[in-house]
Amino acid sequence: MQSRREFLRTAGAFAVSASLPLDRIEPELILYNGNIITINDRQPRAEAVAIAKGRFLAAGTNEKLQALATGNTKKINLEGQTVVPGFIDAHTHPAEAGLMHLRQVDCDLRSIAEIRNAISERASKTPAGDWVLGFKYDDTKTSDGRPLTREDLDAAAPQHPVYVSHRGGHTAYVNALGYERANVSEDTPDPAGGRFDRDPKTGKLNGRISERASEIFDKAIGANYSRADYREGVKLICKMMSRVGITSAHDAWGVHDYLRGYQDAHDAGELSTRIYCMMHYSEIDRMLAAGIRTGFGNEWIRVGGMKMAADGSISERTAWLSQSYVGRPNDFGIRVMTEEELYHNGRKAHEADWQIGTHANGDRAIDMVLRVYERLQRERPRRDPRFRLEHCTVVNDSLLQRIKSLGAIPTPFAAYVYYHGEKMREYGPERLDHMFALRSFLDAGIRVAPGSDYPPGPFEPMMALQSSVTRTDVNGNVWGPKQRITVEEALRTQTLHGAYASFEEHDKGSIERGKLADLVVLGRDPLQEDPFTLVKIPIERTMVGGRWVFGA
Ligand SMILES: [Zn+2]
């Protein structure tokens, strides 16, 4: 939260003073009387921490740290509160989610009546005939026991075309005017790879559309965001992430508009979450032509790896699996890119020293992606490519071994068991023992770095903590208890491992001398908390680069 000029000045000042012993820099701030969980094995606990130039100068006992204070040092008594390193969300979509929050109706509501009201309220503030858009609707989360219909949306906004996308992003719901704008009538045939769903009784369009049918509506909606909209969206999502203790986020589907939005927000002093921006593979040629590669940028915004996708989603049950879905013997999910396509794009990036991250949920997709990575490494060995397997949901022993020997990094959903429990039945309890396999990854010595995938998954780190530790959903059902990990392990995956996944472990992920001063003050100690109430631990304050960005 500082201007570009100020940032360059302080970054420069640190670079100069870094050659001095750190204890000869005057601390600007000392936090003391804390219960500081450092995630640094050499010094796991501390009572106090000293900060200057946006970095930690030292961590240690109250006595030792107080001795560093000068007349200019500000001191804050933590009164026993718990401090952890800032959380790193290793797979999320901040710019995109920010735009959605800025322009669309949040339909993460618990009844159809509430959703109708929210749509209707937005319509009352929108010129008649303009689109009203909604997002984060989830058919399994409303109390009505039925999905949204076109009639619901007609009643909510008779003068507006309406389009409400499902939380998972692969289906959506429209009203009569929406169909009309997209030129879809009762006689329109289904598009390739998509469907206009119909009422089984009447055979009429019921408002739901799936998969690639959305492209027709995307065109009709023609969302035209201005440069300022991207910046505003980033500002908004940063506030949301700071409130829950996220200090760094990996954008897992970055495009040039997002990258510019992050930079604009930073220039305006509105970026409070550090961004590692993985670039969509369609952007790679332009990036290569500019000579840009993974790691380019600064401690606020960095170009990440190149991102591709191999299969479908977990929440909408389209992951590409070796064993069929429960109750659907012929359904093994969907592969979205071929091995040749992955290799062709991957080789360009690999040869130019880019990190590569590929979305792969099902075991078949993971197997295919690993084959591509293994081939790239065989043909052009690199010392430390840190290949990423985005989500990497369903694994087995042989996949784990291959991940370990490649040094690859899985970024599984850590909050899904808790939040999306009702969808787990279609994977079955046996398979759940090999899904979101945090225990297996850690036991195999793999540096797993979980991500939320927000909007599809919630991003609250405390929910990820409870989900990983208890493997219990919000209704008390247990899914895959063999994959439980401890609170301390979960904290490490959400901090230090996230830093490793972006080649920033020297700068982030633990509270130790020289690292960026990113931390979170918690209302209670997660190590002392009942595992079933971890999600309720309040986030009191969040600091990024030595400045409070929430709860100051
Ligand atoms: Zn994603």
Query: According to the model, what pLDDT value does residue 312 have?
Result: 85
Query: According to the model, what pLDDT value does residue 14 have?
Result: 43
Q: How confident is the model at residue 313 (pLDDT cuts 50, 70, 90)?
A: confident
Query: According to the model, what pLDDT value does residue 544 have?
Result: 98
Rounded to the nearest angstrom, the distance between the alpha carbon of 91 and the centre of ligand 1 is 6
Q: What is the pLDDT of residues 230-260, one digit of tens each?
A: 999 999 999 999 999 999 999 999 999 999 9
Rounded to the nearest angstrom, the distance between the alpha carbon of 70 and the centre of ligand 1 is 47
Q: How confident is the model at residue 407 (pLDDT cuts 50, 70, 90)?
A: very high
Query: According to the model, what pLDDT value does residue 318 have?
Result: 83
165: left (phi over 0), alpha (psi -120 to 50) or beta: beta
Rounded to the nearest angstrom, the distance between the alpha carbon of 26 and the centre of ligand 1 is 42
Query: According to the model, what pLDDT value does residue 11 have?
Result: 41
With the C-alpha atoms ordered 317, 321, 326, 331, is the resulting torsion angle positive or negative? positive
Q: Is the pLDDT of residue 275 over 90?
A: yes
Q: Is the pLDDT of residue 281 over 70?
A: yes
When computed from its CA atoms, the radius of gyration of the chain, rounded to whole angstroms, is 24
Rounded to the nearest angstrom, the distance between the alpha carbon of 234 and the centre of ligand 1 is 17
Q: Is the pLDDT of residue 12 over 70?
A: no
Q: How confident is the model at residue 4 (pLDDT cuts 50, 70, 90)?
A: very low
When pLDDT is averaged across residues 377-401 and rounded to a whole number, the result is: 98
Rounded to the nearest angstrom, the distance between the alpha carbon of 414 and the centre of ligand 1 is 13
Rounded to the nearest angstrom, the distance between the alpha carbon of 358 and the centre of ligand 1 is 10
Rounded Cα–Cα distance for residues 199 and 206 (Å): 5
Rounded to the nearest angstrom, the distance between the alpha carbon of 105 and the centre of ligand 1 is 21
Rounded to the nearest angstrom, the distance between the alpha carbon of 273 and the centre of ligand 1 is 18
Rounded to the nearest angstrom, the distance between the alpha carbon of 174 and the centre of ligand 1 is 24
Burial degree of 489 (CB within 10 A; 0-12, 13-18, 19+): middle
Query: According to the model, what pLDDT value does residue 175 have?
Result: 98
Rounded to the nearest angstrom, the distance between the alpha carbon of 252 and the centre of ligand 1 is 6
Query: According to the model, what pLDDT value does residue 18 have?
Result: 44
Rounded to the nearest angstrom, the distance between the alpha carbon of 498 and the centre of ligand 1 is 15
Q: How confident is the model at residue 491 (pLDDT cuts 50, 70, 90)?
A: very high
The DSSP code for 458 is -
Rounded to the nearest angstrom, the distance between the alpha carbon of 65 and the centre of ligand 1 is 42
Tokens, residue 540: 């009191």
Query: According to the model, what pLDDT value does residue 223 have?
Result: 77
Rounded to the nearest angstrom, the distance between the alpha carbon of 364 and the centre of ligand 1 is 18
Rounded to the nearest angstrom, the distance between the alpha carbon of 172 and the centre of ligand 1 is 18
In 3-state terms, what secondary structure has residue 442?
helix
Rounded Cα–Cα distance for residues 51 and 65 (Å): 10
Tokens, residue 428: 């079955």
Q: How confident is the model at residue 490 (pLDDT cuts 50, 70, 90)?
A: very high
Considering only residues 13 and 485, tell me which one the structure prediction assigns the higher pLDDT: 485
When pLDDT is averaged across residues 219-235 and rounded to a whole number, the result is: 93
Query: According to the model, what pLDDT value does residue 3 have?
Result: 43
Q: Is the pLDDT of residue 21 over 90?
A: no
Rounded to the nearest angstrom, the distance between the alpha carbon of 538 and the centre of ligand 1 is 27
Please, are residues 102 and 235 in contact by the beta-carbon 8 Å criterion? no
Query: According to the model, what pLDDT value does residue 23 have?
Result: 59
Rounded Cα–Cα distance for residues 165 and 228 (Å): 24
Comparing 91-95, 277-281, 426-430, the range with the smallest average pLDDT is 426-430
Q: Is the pLDDT of residue 514 over 80?
A: yes
When pLDDT is averaged across residues 351-377 and rounded to a whole number, the result is: 97
Rounded to the nearest angstrom, the distance between the alpha carbon of 391 and the centre of ligand 1 is 8
Query: According to the model, what pLDDT value does residue 9 have?
Result: 38
When pLDDT is averaged across residues 211-234 and rounded to a whole number, the result is: 92
- Pairing outcome for strands 105-106 and 162-166: unpaired
Rounded Cα–Cα distance for residues 368 and 127 (Å): 49
Rounded to the nearest angstrom, the distance between the alpha carbon of 50 and the centre of ligand 1 is 36
Rounded to the nearest angstrom, the distance between the alpha carbon of 457 and the centre of ligand 1 is 9
479: left (phi over 0), alpha (psi -120 to 50) or beta: beta
List the Cα angle 454/89/438 in 5-degree steps. Answer: 100
Rounded to the nearest angstrom, the distance between the alpha carbon of 508 and the centre of ligand 1 is 22
When pLDDT is averaged across residues 422-434 and rounded to a whole number, the result is: 90
Rounded to the nearest angstrom, the distance between the alpha carbon of 359 and the centre of ligand 1 is 7
Q: Is the pLDDT of residue 5 over 50?
A: no
Does the model's pTM come out above 0.75? yes
Rounded to the nearest angstrom, the distance between the alpha carbon of 314 and the centre of ligand 1 is 11
Please, are residues 462 and 244 in contact by the beta-carbon 8 Å criterion? yes
Rounded to the nearest angstrom, the distance between the alpha carbon of 32 and the centre of ligand 1 is 39
Please, are residues 247 and 542 in contact by the beta-carbon 8 Å criterion? yes
When pLDDT is averaged across residues 346-371 and rounded to a whole number, the result is: 97
When pLDDT is averaged across residues 504-510 and rounded to a whole number, the result is: 98
When pLDDT is averaged across residues 471-490 and rounded to a whole number, the result is: 97
Q: Is the pLDDT of residue 440 over 80?
A: yes
Q: Where are the alpha helices (DSSP H) in 302-457?
A: 339-351, 363-379, 397-406, 416-419, 429-432, 438-443
Rounded to the nearest angstrom, the distance between the alpha carbon of 99 and the centre of ligand 1 is 16
Residue type present at position 471: R
Comparing 71-75, 209-213, 291-295, 497-501, the range with the smallest average pLDDT is 209-213
Q: Is the pLDDT of residue 20 over 80?
A: no
Q: Is the pLDDT of residue 15 over 90?
A: no
Rounded to the nearest angstrom, the distance between the alpha carbon of 313 and the centre of ligand 1 is 9
Candidates 398, 438, 395; CA nearest to 414 is 438
Rounded to the nearest angstrom, the distance between the alpha carbon of 276 and the centre of ligand 1 is 14
Q: What is the pLDDT of residues 22-81, one digit of tens each?
A: 657 899 999 999 999 999 999 999 999 999 999 999 999 999 999 999 999 999 999 999
Rounded to the nearest angstrom, the distance between the alpha carbon of 126 and the centre of ligand 1 is 30
Query: According to the model, what pLDDT value does residue 335 have?
Result: 87
Q: How confident is the model at residue 1 (pLDDT cuts 50, 70, 90)?
A: very low
Rounded to the nearest angstrom, the distance between the alpha carbon of 293 and the centre of ligand 1 is 21
Burial degree of 326 (CB within 10 A; 0-12, 13-18, 19+): middle
Rounded to the nearest angstrom, the distance between the alpha carbon of 2 and the centre of ligand 1 is 29
Q: What integer best gives the mean pLDDT of the chain? A: 93
